[in-house]
Structures are given as C-alpha cells and as structure tokens.
Amino acid sequence: MRSVASAPGKVILFGEHFVVYGTKAILCAIDKRITATSQFLDERKIRIKSKLGDAEFDLDTSTNPEFISNKFMKPFLHIAKEALQEFNENRGIEITLESDILAGIGLGSSSAACVATAASVAGLFSKRSKEEILSRSIESERTVFEDVSGADSSISTFGGLMSYSKDGYEKINSKNDISLIIANSNQIHNTKEVVLKVREFKKKNERLFAEMCEQENKLVKDALSAIKENDLNKLGSLMLKNQEMLEKINVSTDKLDLLIKEAVKTSYGAKITGAGGGGCIISLVDKSNLSNTLENLKKISDCFVAKIDFDGLRYSR
Ligand code: MEV
C-alpha cells in the first residue's frame, strides 16, 4: 500500500522574522508542490529517498549517526517513528520525496516536505484532519529548529492567503488579480542561521527591535486593508517599507538588493521573501506589468510567475 500526499510551497508577503517574536505575518501558498509517497517496509527501518540524498535508519539498533545528525532527515525520521509507535506497528516505512521547489531558497520547501510527509505517513494508518497534520509537521520541524514560528507549515497545510501569528491564523478571502514574480538570487541560505543572526541583532538592539515589531504589525494591518480594497499600488509600497525593515535587520544581500532595484522599475513593489541572506525576492504584478517585469528580471536571474495555490495539503496527486 502506498500513501501519497502533497503540499505547496509559500511566499511571505509581509512579516518574516518579526513573526518569530509574535507579530503578524501575511503568507501566500504558491503553485509549486512537494509530494511525499510512503509505504511500509518489512524490515524495521526508516528509509528516506529524495534528490537531496537517501538515508536509512535501523529502528532496532538506532545507530545510524549520519541520519541522526542529518538536519534535513531528522523531521521525517521523527514523523515516521512517532506514527509506528502510536499504532504499535512493527514494520518500517519508506518515504520518497519529490519536489517542484529548490531547497534553501525561501519558498518553504522544508515545511511543505514536513506537511506532505506527515500526511502521507498518517495515510498509511488512518487519515488525519489538516489541524492534526499541521501540529505534527510543526513538532517535526522543531526537532531541528526550536524557534520556528509555524507560519510556513500553516500556509502549506491550508493554502490560499492567510495572516498568521503565534496566536493563530486567519484565512484572507481575496479575489484579487495578484500575481507574483519570484526571482532567485541563487544564493542558498540556511533559515536557522539567518533567524539566529536576527536574534543576535535583537539582543543588541532590544528597544529598536520592539519598535520595529510595532511597525510591522501596523504594516500588516495596512496591507490587509490594501488587499481588501484591491489596491496594488498601496500593497506594493507597503512591501517596499517591509523591505527597508528587513535591510535594517541585515538579512538582505547585494544580489537581493539588485533584484529588488530591477523589479521595482516596472512592478508595484518587491521584497525579500522568507529568511533572506540569499534565497528569493517577490515582485507584485498584475496583467499590466507582468511581462515587462519578467523580461527585465530574466536578464539577471532565474525567475518565474507564481500563482496562489488555494488547495494546501492534498491527499493524492
Ligand atoms: C522563514 O520562511 C520565515 C521566518 O520568519 C522563520 C519562521 O517564521 O519560522 C524567517
């Protein structure tokens, strides 16, 4: 028996980093997915297969140091082990991951992989609600990164547009003609390292950081009304304000700045998305300026148009 589930990647429209400290963020699921396929193994092993490498963990000896120290594999091992224990199952599990999204570029591939894996493994036993899958996914992410806000897993699970804070999420009903161009700096980043760097910044600048959190909350509030009013000019200029804040906390890079400079020549606004320190920028466009912006960005980056994914977690391809 095979159990297949897939979950979308994401962009953060507003509020990355500050969301870790309790402010609101706005996120959007994108039409690029990660698919997880699980099946039982007769041997008591957990096997993970993916483009980033394969790994195998022996459940009886528990002595695979490579697996235990492998940050990429740890969440999947956690999900599979917990499920076997919960259902008192004496076999093993093989999980195969396939992805439309490159890892380490700020598009939520790790969270989408955790959501898809949690659902696909659960599907071998009994289907779970999206809320249960989400909580398993966040728990598994925290085996490598305790500070994770849960924002990425939430949008990947439920899809669409949402505002998120550690107190919960709210779906945003939008019929806007929003399209985003995503441009990759080709600088791979490590989210955990960038979040830790921001934590250092916060420690050294407590008062400034607290003020910035307030500003971010205000930005998110204004952005929510701009989305409601379908005011792309306003939304774009708020994105630029958010970008200024991300620059202040030192998560931009020269390449990201260059991409943003190019993007704002023709689009409504642009900013880093996700942790920064590399990864991608997003640029807000509609039919009127999509092709110009895409052409310009293509000259200096790998870029593509992203649409909103409204499904979130899906149980089969
Ligand atoms: C990463 O996509 C978003 C961050 O805000 C971290 C998090 O929310 O856990 C940088």
Question: Does ligand 1 lie within 6 Å of residue 154's CB atom?
Answer: no
CA atoms of 189 and 183, how far apart (whole Å): 15
Residue 27's identity, in one-letter code, is L
- Per-residue pLDDT at 72: 79
The predicted model scores a pTM of 0.94
Domains of the chain plus CATH, in order, are 2-175 (3.30.230.10), 179-307 (3.30.70.890)
Residue appearing with tokens 């706005």:
26
Contacts of 315 (CB under 8 A, 6+ apart): 4, 5, 119, 123, 127
Question: Does ligand 1 lie within 6 Å of residue 140's CB atom?
Answer: no
- Per-residue pLDDT at 62: 72
Whole-number Å distance, alpha carbon 195 to ligand 1 midpoint, is 7
Mutate to test the pocket of ligand 1, among 20, 182, 250 (most ligand atoms within 8 A of CB): 20
Whole-number Å distance, alpha carbon 4 to ligand 1 midpoint, is 27
CA atoms of 212 and 155, how far apart (whole Å): 24
CA atoms of 82 and 60, how far apart (whole Å): 15
Mutate to test the pocket of ligand 1, among 152, 194, 199 (most ligand atoms within 8 A of CB): 152
Residue appearing with tokens 């009994």:
126
CA atoms of 174 and 115, how far apart (whole Å): 24
Catalytic hit among 54, 58, 100, 152 = 152
Question: Per residue in 53-88, pLDDT tens?
Answer: 888 899 988 766 666 666 778 999 999 999 999 999
Closest atom of ligand 1 to 145 CA is 9
- Per-residue pLDDT at 305: 96
Tell me the pLDDT of the chain (317 aa) as tens digits.
Answer: 999 999 999 999 999 999 999 999 999 999 999 999 999 999 999 999 998 888 889 998 876 666 666 677 899 999 999 999 999 999 999 999 999 998 889 999 999 999 999 999 999 998 789 999 999 999 999 999 888 999 999 999 999 999 999 899 999 987 666 789 999 999 988 899 999 999 999 999 999 999 999 999 999 999 999 999 999 999 999 999 999 999 999 999 999 999 999 999 999 999 999 999 999 999 999 999 999 999 999 999 999 999 999 999 999 84
Whole-number Å distance, alpha carbon 126 to ligand 1 midpoint, is 30
Task: Tell me whether residue 58 is one of the annotated catalytic residues.
Answer: no
- Per-residue pLDDT at 109: 95
What residue's CA is closest to ligand 1, atom 2?
274
What is the CA angle 160-166-168, rounded to 5?
Answer: 50
Residue appearing with tokens 């696909």:
120
